[in-house]
Amino acid sequence: MITTFGDRLSAAMAARGPLCVGVDPHPALLTAWGLSDDLAGLRSFAATCVTALAGEVALLKPQSALFEAHGSGGVAVLERLIADARAAGTLVLVDAKRGDIGSTMTAYARAYLTEGSPLAGDAVTLSPYLGFGSLEPALEIARATGRGVFVLARTSNPEGASVQDALVSDEKGTRSVAQRVVDAAAQLNVGAPRLGDVGLVVGGNLPSLKLDLSGLNGPVLAPGFGAQGGTVADLRRLFGPALPGVLPTSSRDVLRHGPDVAALRQAVRGLRAELASAPAGG
């Protein structure tokens, strides 16, 4: 029997705390690490991140676009990072934000969710803004392979509000576009004994949540924590009773301590301790 992504993530969060670290090789960060902004620098950066962070966090989140920017060689580095991190026992969320329709969505799903694909981690980020139903090929393959998805709902960027907070009326009443995404994900997680396999992306630095997450029964990835202004107090304020299922994600606040492996690990451990001080509240 396949172990579900939700079960694996629950175990990782219990063992290592609810922290996701983004592996984001921005050109300025490569320079700050004393690396060249080319394939050699990218390889060194990725290898150092795996060495320092695998086994320290619940989830590693490589940003696919920053590897793709280096062409086919960069994609190969991403593939190696995914393989090495998973071999070290760390769950990998590939931050690709894919979203399309029909056969194209199926092709994306095969790339990021099919067993044996070199780009397949444990989960992938998806965009539902061609309609939540357009994600069904990815949802089907994820179910079959024991993988997960994180669907963009209310994102941390200020531009997202113009679409995601828009109100839409249907037979279920008037809800925001983001709440419709939440409710669709919740339907797919009904009956999951721990965490469901369909997670959401909800900003951890929002002025207010404006979402009902009480029925989600799945994980929430919370970008915006750390360098984008989100704090532990914000997490508790925004998510309240849902906080045990929330994975704050940090990249710059951790990666600025590189390339020193010990300093990177210490930064992660400090964040984990900080998060442990924020129990769920109302």
Active site residues: 97
- Interhelix angle for 261-276 vs 232-239, to 10°? 40
Q: Could you tell me which residues are beta bridge partners of residue 205?
A: none
CA distance 22 to 139: 23
Q: What is the largest CA-CA distance in the chain?
A: 57
- Long-range CB contacts for residues 77-80, cutoff 8 Å, separation at least 24: 77/39, 77/42, 77/43, 77/46, 78/46, 78/119, 79/118, 79/119, 80/43, 80/46
What's the first-to-final CA gap in the chain, in angstroms?
37
Amino acid at the residue 161: A
CA distance 2 to 223: 29
CA distance 12 to 90: 8
Amino acid at the residue 253: D
CA distance 211 to 153: 9
CA distance 122 to 4: 10
CA distance 154 to 151: 10
Query: Is-cis flag, bond preceding 259, omega within 30?
Result: yes
Q: Are 202 and 211 in contact (CB under 8 A)?
A: yes
Q: Are 44 and 273 in contact (CB under 8 A)?
A: no
Amino acid at the residue 5: F
